[in-house]
Amino acid sequence: MSAPLVSARRLRVEYPGRAGGRVRALRDVDLDILQGETLGLVGESGCGKSTLGRALLRVIEPSAGRIEFAGADLTRLRGRQLRRTRAELQMVFQDPFGSLNPRRRVADIVAEPLLRARGTTRTEAARTVAELLDLVGLGAEAGARRPHEFSGGQRQRIGIARALASSPQFVVADEAVSALDVSIQAQVLNLLSDLVRDRGLTMLFISHDLGVVRHIADRIAVMYLGQIIEIASRDAFFTGPAHPYSRALLSSVPALRRPGGDPAREREVLEGELPDPANPPEGCLFRTRCPKATAECRTRMPELREVAPGRSVRCHLPLVSGGFEAEGSSDAGNSSDCGGSASPAIKDVTL
Amino acid sequence: MTAALEHPPVQAVSEPVLEIRDLRVQFDVPAGRLPAVDGVDLTLRQGEVLALVGESGSGKSALSMSLVGLNRGPRTHITGEVSFGGRDLVAASERELRAVRGKEIAVVFQDALAALNPLHRAGAQVSEMIRAHRDVPRAQARDRAVELLGEVGIASPDRAARSYPHQLSGGMRQRVMIAMGLANDPAVLIADEPTTALDVTIQAQVLAVLKRVQRDHGTSVLLITHDLGVVSEVAHRVAVMYAGRIVEQGLRDEVLFNPQHPYTMGLLGSVPPIDGPVLRRLPAISGSPLTGVERPSGCAFAPRCPFVHDACAERPELRRRHGGDGHVDACVLPGAERTEARTKGGTE
């Protein structure tokens, strides 16, 4: 693994709330997305995962904080510079019905980001579009048709072709396969992972479906109430989540379990519901639902800190603590609230 | 709170509660008649949870809605027989069905926000459901409503009863729907994707409630879902639907861990698991489901099936071939080829 391609520093998004208050959709998020990796971003509705994906592309303007893309400060770009950089940053949306203009031909939809960003000629664009439609398995002749003539899975392929048209380096896929039936979802997932590999794409893959994320992502970040609460390599995360919320999330997934089952896999049903984001609890934001909360959790918000190489957790009592201190690694000094940005540890992530 | 994951006990063969025979549901669409349900036989037994699994357009919702006449209309043609308590619900009048719906057979929908009346308090909607079918005093119905809201795991049922639907979270609304479903202690509960719109931690809570009340009340549940994980958590038996037909049916663990039909195998292979080895590619099923009015005269899955032969041109019967007890499928593949199909899962 390599250097970060996209970094967020203290990224904040706020909305005006009731009674003049502010609702924080993103609470000072620090995150590094490494060149060539697929980072899976998981969490439940309202945790801020879509807001984070959109803020990274400046589809939503952050209220504070900084976004770096390939070393440039994306938050300061304006006008033409911003447009040019946007060609490098694309998004695949969840809704294959709502996100494609029904009145335009598929070829025009796919060509749009290409023509807007680069001043490509129409002939060049037509060739690229034909290649892309082939690449996503629709065939060049699909270009003459309109979105309503396609099924949900096919429309999602059109959305993917459009996202790739301007040869972006970074793609945010926001619940890109969630609306699809499982047999079609598997086809689109295979397509996405081929494209990521063949084109060396860096991807933020946002999903509520942990099985899907496990299939496609190299690393996993978990959000709760606008904060990142855990970052880990895929295997470390799925074999032993370190945050009590991650653990509950994983244990709540209704999964195929063999008769007799794995006795070690106890079902943990989390009590209560998400607190009102406009009126979050004091101290740790998860403590109201946490089975392990102590007095400290009620008063002091934990920082996102590294507990093992490449693994950061925002918890006073993480479920995984071994490894890091025991190794006496010199990287320990870098342990900080920047979590994912503690890049020295990243080299240890082997996937 | 932790609870050991219990697999529901396999039911001894119990009495049929609802028997569906050769049910066909056709919708008039611009292109002709869409055979949403294309000749289904299915039996729901006393006290069991029967999961009806399928993808969009497989006909699972059309089937469940037609059981209680919720999709009747000038453009819908329903034939066949649904026997329930000595009556045929397909032939029943709307008036007769109204007496059955909500009392003997209750329905819980996916979208509780759309199914609840936004202008009435949650408690009033539950007590209204009781009073629609039984002559009980208002105050008594109200008390029972609060009791039911408590039973479905709402922490402060008094307050929830006084709330309007928009003041409740998605998980709470779904619990209110289940409370309404249970209001008259129905023999049958049809639950159509009851947890699909919920986040996983809330889904786990609602599934636990559904399992508990099903067991406590001995309700027979027809669970409509696309989620094989949910099936694994709550069902006793499973029926898999494809293009309006049942292609496989059996005890849950038989169908999930010893699937016989190539569609069931493909469906199981398409779900990326949360443990075990990570495959580089998922064994996806190629092509798309049938959605048009034209259906092949033979096996409906044949156009997508990697194991298609000449024999697939005839419509296969649903019967026991290579599965265990009570495990039936509609595939003419010989045993050896099924083993191969299972190891390949499917192809893309």
**ipTM here:** 0.85
Retrieve residue B95's tokens: 């008036």
**pLDDT tens across A81-133, in order?**
888 888 899 999 887 677 888 899 999 999 988 887 667 888 889 999 999 99
Check if B140 contacts A (Cβ < 8 Å).
Answer: no
pLDDT exceeds 90 at position A65: yes
Residues 195-214 of A with CB under 8 A from B: 208, 210-212, 214
Annotate B104-151 with DSSP letters as a single string: TEEEE-S-HHHHS-TTS-HHHHHHHHHHHHS---HHHHHHHHHHHHHH
Strand order in the sheet with A202-206: A89-92, A170-174, A202-206, A38-42, A219-224, A227-233, A311-313, A305-308
Half-sphere exposure in the Cβ direction for B161 (13 Å, CA):
21
Helices (H), A136-205: 152-164, 182-199
Task: Mention every residue, 6+ apart, whose C-beta is less than 8 A from residue B194.
Answer: B108, B109, B110, B174, B177, B178, B206, B210, B223
For A179, name the nearest residue in chain B, comparing CA atoms only.
Answer: B56
Cβ–Cβ of B256/A185 closer than 8 Å?
no
Q: Is any Cβ of chain B less than 8 angstroms from the Cβ of A190?
A: yes
Among partner residues A152, A186, A266, which is closest to B5 by beta-carbon distance? A266
| CATH code for residues B16-235 | 3.40.50.300
Q: Which tens digit of pLDDT belongs to each residue from A195-245?
A: 999 999 999 999 999 999 999 999 999 999 999 999 999 999 999 999 999
Model confidence pLDDT, tens digit, residues A31-54: 999 999 999 999 988 899 999 999
CA distance A142 to A158: 9
pLDDT value of residue A345? 31
Q: Is B13 helix (H, G, I), strand (E, B) or coil?
A: coil
pLDDT of B1: 40
Residues of B in contact with A182 (CB under 8 A): 55, 226, 228, 267, 270-271
Dump the DSSP string for A25-89.
Answer: EEEEEEEEEETT-EEEEE--TTSSHHHHHHHHTTSS--SEEEEEETTEEGGG--HHHHHHHHTTE
Q: Name every chain A residue with its beta carbon within 8 A of the beta carbon of B207.
A: 254
Kindly identify which residue of chain A lies nearest to residue B283, measuring between CA atoms. A186
What are the domain boundaries of chain B? 16-235, 258-344
Our CA angle for B104, B108, B110, nearest 5°, is 165
Of A115, A117, A109, nearest to A157 (Cα)?
Answer: A109
Radius of gyration of chain B measured on its C-alpha atoms: 21
The CB density around residue B29, as the number of other CB atoms within 10 Å, is 12
- Give the model's pLDDT for residue A89: 93
B 202-241 residues with CB < 8 A to A? 202-205, 207-208, 226-230, 232-233
| Beta carbons of B207 and B230 less than 8 angstroms apart | yes
B297 touches chain A (CB under 8 A): no
- Ranges of residues in chain B with a pLDDT under 50 are 1-11, 346-348
CA distance B20 to chain A (A): 27
Query: For residue range A236-274, what is the model confidence (pLDDT) as tens digits?
Result: 999 999 999 999 999 999 887 666 555 445 577 788 888
Residue A351 has pLDDT above 80, yes or no: no
Look at residue B344 in the predicted model and tell me its pLDDT: 66
Q: Tell me if A44 and B199 make a contact (CB, 8 A cut-off).
A: yes
User: How does pLDDT run across B115-154, given as a tens digit for each residue?
Assistant: 899 999 999 999 999 999 999 999 999 999 999 999 898 8
* Residue A339: per-residue pLDDT: 37
Residue A63 CB: number of other CB atoms within 10 A?
Answer: 15
Q: Give backbone dihedrals phi and psi of B117, rounded to 5 degrees, phi first.
A: -80, 120
pLDDT(A347) > 70? no
> Does residue A333 have a pLDDT over 60?
no
Q: With a cut of 50, say whether residue A301 has pLDDT above it.
A: yes
Closest Cβ–Cβ partner in B199, B227, B272 for A214: B272
Q: Does B10 touch chain A (CB under 8 A)?
A: no
* Verdict on whether the full-model pTM lies above 0.90: no
Read out DSSP for B29-79? ETTEEEEEEEEEEEEEETT-EEEEE--TTSSHHHHHHHHTTTT-STTEEEE
Find the CB nearest A252 among B56, B200, B279.
B200
pLDDT of residue A302: 97
Alpha-carbon span A208 to B75, nearest angstrom: 38
Q: How far apart are CA B23 and CA B44, in angstroms?
A: 14
